[in-house]
């Protein structure tokens, strides 16, 4: 017989000293995309934190990280027409801001010393078309079954989501924890799925791991008893 079981998991960091949490914005690549990654991720995490933690979720009109990133963009060329070198320069500058303890300490001071959530998010289309091995059973003229192996070309597309989250102490600006998550989904040629729908599907997979960093979680499963 099968019985349901729950396995408790402790959070990776202790956030009991914080009363508030601020989702401060996210770095994204300077490329065209069908999904507004930074604002969508910010709204989604705010909703999850509000529903699954006891922390007060702060919602500023403008994420604090945006101002710092815009200053970096002003140093580059014309908006929307960045060279490979400029994209790399922006990436390095964004990484510097993410790790700038003094910047985050000032942000924390402005918002009454919350736990700060920030980081980098990437979302890319994937083309995984190619030959795939398959096996099928055929019958000869005497109706005897025979296993035939071969290859078949399959049209497959998909999307990948990469998220690196920083959990920052707003009192000191120090990074308490940093963790990277990667999710991928593939679709057959007959499946018509929008990039935005795929983004939400991948975030649904990622969110339990994100929440597990700051709050205890339970893994539900089943065990089989034999008698």
Q: How confident is the model at residue 218 (pLDDT cuts 50, 70, 90)?
A: low
Span 156-173, average pLDDT: 92
CATH number (domain holding residue 72): 3.40.50
Per-residue b or e along 39-78, where b marks 16 or more CB atoms closer than 10 Å to that residue's CB? ebbbebbbebbeeebebebbeeeebbbbebbeebeeebee
| Cα angle 84-67-120, degrees, rounded to a multiple of 5 | 55
**Tokens encoding 140:** 């000869």
Span 117-143, average pLDDT: 78
Q: How far apart are CA 145 and CA 124, in angstroms?
A: 44
As to burial, measured by CB atoms within 10 angstroms (0-12 exposed, 13-18 middle, 19+ buried), residue 161 is buried
Domain that holds residue 134: 2-224
Q: How far apart are CA 81 and CA 8, in angstroms?
A: 49
Q: List, for residues 165-175, the tens digit of each pLDDT value.
A: 999 999 999 99
Which CA distances in Å does 212 have to 15, 106, 129, 148? 12, 27, 35, 47
Nearest to 63 by CA among 119, 15, 123, 122: 119
Backbone angles phi, psi at 159, to 5 degrees: -140, 150
Q: List, for residues 14-41, the tens digit of each pLDDT value.
A: 899 999 999 999 999 877 677 899 999 9
Total domains in the chain come to 1
- Residue 102 clears pLDDT 90, i.e. is over it: yes
Q: Is 100 helix (H, G, I), strand (E, B) or coil?
A: coil
| Residue in this structure with the two tokens 């030959």, named with its chain if needed | 131
Nearest to 66 by CA among 94, 101, 30: 94
Span 213-219, average pLDDT: 77
Nearest to 54 by CA among 14, 20, 98: 20
Nearest to 157 by CA among 122, 193, 183: 193
Q: What is the DSSP letter of 198?
A: H
- Name the average pLDDT for the chain: 85
Q: Where do the H-state alpha helices sit in the chain? A: 37-52, 64-74, 84-98, 101-110, 195-214
């Amino acid at each position: 017989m099968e019985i349901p079981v729950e396995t408790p998991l402790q959070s990776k960091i202790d956030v009991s000293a914080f009363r508030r949490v601020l989702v401060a914005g996210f770095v994204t690549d300077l490329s065209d995309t069908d999904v507004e990654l930074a604002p969508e991720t910010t709204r989604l995490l705010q909703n999850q934190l509000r529903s699954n933690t006891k922390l007060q979720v702060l919602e500023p009109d403008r994420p604090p990280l945006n101002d710092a990133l815009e200053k970096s963009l002003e140093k580059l060329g014309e908006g929307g027409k960045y060279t490979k070198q400029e994209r790399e320069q922006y990436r390095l500058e964004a990484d510097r801001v993410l790790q700038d303890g003094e910047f985050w300490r000032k942000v924390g001071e402005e918002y009454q010393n919350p736990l700060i959530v920030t980081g980098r998010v990437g979302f890319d289309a994937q083309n995984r078309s190619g030959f795939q091995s398959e096996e099928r059973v055929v019958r000869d003229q005497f109706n005897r079954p025979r296993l035939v192996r071969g290859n078949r070309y399959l049209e497959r597309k998909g999307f990948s989501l990469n998220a690196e989250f920083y959990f920052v102490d707003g009192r000191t600006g120090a990074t308490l924890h940093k963790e990277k998550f990667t999710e991928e989904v593939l679709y057959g040629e007959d499946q018509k799925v929008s990039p935005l729908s795929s983004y939400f599907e991948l975030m649904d997979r990622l969110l339990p791991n994100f929440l597990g960093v700051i709050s205890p979680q339970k893994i539900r499963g089943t065990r089989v008893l034999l008698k």
